[in-house]
Amino acid sequence: MYSEKVIDHFSNPRNVGKIENPDGYGKVGNAACGDVMEIFLKIEEDKIKDVKFRTFGCAAAIATSSMSTEMILNKPVEEALKLTNKAVAEALDGLPAKKMHCSVLAEEGIQSAIEDYMSKKDKS
Ligand code: FES
Ligand code: FES
């Protein structure tokens, strides 16, 4: 039921881990199932220089987290904010309909980490 790309990113997820003193941090939970994603961003001049994540969730949640970190690395934050769960699912050659809700975790995690970065920036 999963594409080869989903299986690849689930078996060998990219950018797993954490970053000490991140410029942006987000932690989101999926209301539908209780799975959780944490995301850490290193940002320089509004560009994402490093990204790490930890997802406690199902195969689709881990694969979409992994793919989404690759899609935002070295991108301006404005662009990363616009990444949709649909675009991530497409980059993985699709997800089963029942697993689409899992991809929302990565979209919301990235948005929440960027919002954290922006609110810190406003204060400084
Ligand atoms: Fe979380 Fe799917 S319910 S693993
Ligand atoms: Fe919970 Fe996939 S079933 S994120």
- pTM: predicted TM-score of the whole model, two decimal places: 0.94
Please identify which of the residues 17, 18, 33, 49 carries the catalytic annotation.
Answer: 33
Cα-to-centroid distance, 54 and ligand 2 (Å): 14
Q: Is 57 left (phi over 0), alpha (psi -120 to 50) or beta?
A: beta
Whether 33 sits among the annotated catalytic residues: the reply is yes
- pLDDT one-digit tens code per residue, 54-97: 999 999 999 999 999 999 999 999 999 999 999 999 999 999 99
ipTM above 0.85, yes or no: no
Ligand 2 and 63: CB distance under 6 A = no
Cα-to-centroid distance, 57 and ligand 1 (Å): 5
Cα-to-centroid distance, 48 and ligand 2 (Å): 26
Ligand 1: nearest atom to the Cα of 58: 4
For 1, 98, 119, the CA distances from 95, given in Å and listed in that order, are 8, 8, 33
Whether 58 sits among the annotated catalytic residues: the reply is no
Angle, to 10 degrees, between the axis of helix 59-72 and the axis of helix 4-11? 90
What's the rounded mean pLDDT across residues 110-121? 96
